[in-house]
Amino acid sequence: MCKVTAAAIQQDAATVANAVEQIANQPAVSPQLKSELDAAAAALVAATTGWTAGSATADINDAAQVIEAALAAIPLTAPYAIFVGIAVDALDILIANLATQPAQATSTVANARAVLAHVATLPSNPWRGKAQIHRHVFEGPRAAFVGTWNDAVDKTPVAGFKKL
pLDDT digits (tens, 9 = 90+) for 24-48: 999 989 999 999 999 999 998 998 8
- Looking at residue 142, what is its pLDDT? 82
pLDDT digits (tens, 9 = 90+) for 65-80: 888 889 988 999 988 9
> pLDDT-derived band of residue 1, with 50, 70 and 90 as boundaries?
very low
- Looking at residue 110, what is its pLDDT? 59
Least confident of 22-26, 84-88, 91-95, 153-157: 91-95
**What mean pLDDT value characterizes the chain?**
81
Domain ranges of the chain: 6-159
| Model pTM score | 0.79
Distance of CA 79 to the CA centre of its chain: 20
